[in-house]
Amino acid sequence: MAYVRTILTDNHPTLRKVAKKVDVDEIREPLFQQLIDDMFATMYAAPGIGLAAPQIDVGKRLFVVDLQDEDPSHGPLVIINPKFTVTEGELESIEGCLSVPGFIGDVTRFERVVCAGLDRHGRRISVEGTADLFSRCLQHEMDHLDGVLYVDKAKNVRPALTEEEVAEAEAPAI
Ligand code: ZN
């Protein structure tokens, strides 16, 4: 059974802390597995396409992503202790965040990233995002693990006013 947890907003102190690396032995513990399930449930309930543990007040280095609606090639994914092994290029696009509700901004990100880490069984995984929402999402979530919010990097942070902007702020909320 997974539980929807509260998503922190308003610069809550946990959102601003560098999250701690997860001990590999901890991954198989029921409480940690529950955390992963709860993160997915919380992300889907928001609804959002990505969620990092600090957003639900857990200072550990993991995040979940699911872009199935926008990009069927990137379904449910959890990455523990993620690291970028490749970062290339630059691309600017609009972002929103579940922890900064009602706003959007223009953020310049790497165009292509390769992200390595562990899956929920503690196995090594590596995923690649190339000039797409997935690439942006990985970088946005990684920032959450370092206490960084997109508004720190964004230009022209603005309230989402038009219906289109509200959709932009909510749909790709990460
Ligand atoms: Zn976010």
Compute CA 56 distance to the chain's CA centroid, rounded to the nearest angstrom.
Answer: 12
- Mean pLDDT, consecutive 10-residue stretches, the chain (174 aa), reads 95 97 98 98 95 98 94 94 98 94 94 98 97 92 98 94 70 56
Confirm whether 141 is a catalytic residue. Answer: yes
- Catalytically annotated residue among 29, 88, 141, 170: 141
Sequence-distant (≥ 6) Cβ neighbours of residue 123 within 8 angstroms: none
The confidence score (pLDDT) of residue 71 equals 86
pTM: 0.94
Going from the Cα of 51 to the center of ligand 1, the distance in angstroms, rounded, reads 7
The confidence score (pLDDT) of residue 162 equals 78
Going by C-alpha positions, the residue among 34, 161, 102 that lies closest to residue 42 is 34
Q: Which residues surround ligand 1, an ion (CB under 5 A)?
A: 97, 174
Going from the Cα of 25 to the center of ligand 1, the distance in angstroms, rounded, reads 27
Cα separation of the two ends of the chain: 23
Sequence-distant (≥ 6) Cβ neighbours of residue 47 within 8 angstroms: 170, 173
Going by C-alpha positions, the residue among 171, 174, 56, 76 that lies closest to residue 125 is 76
The confidence score (pLDDT) of residue 99 equals 96
The CATH number of domain 13-170 is 3.90.45.10: yes
The confidence score (pLDDT) of residue 174 equals 65
In the chain, domain spans: 13-170
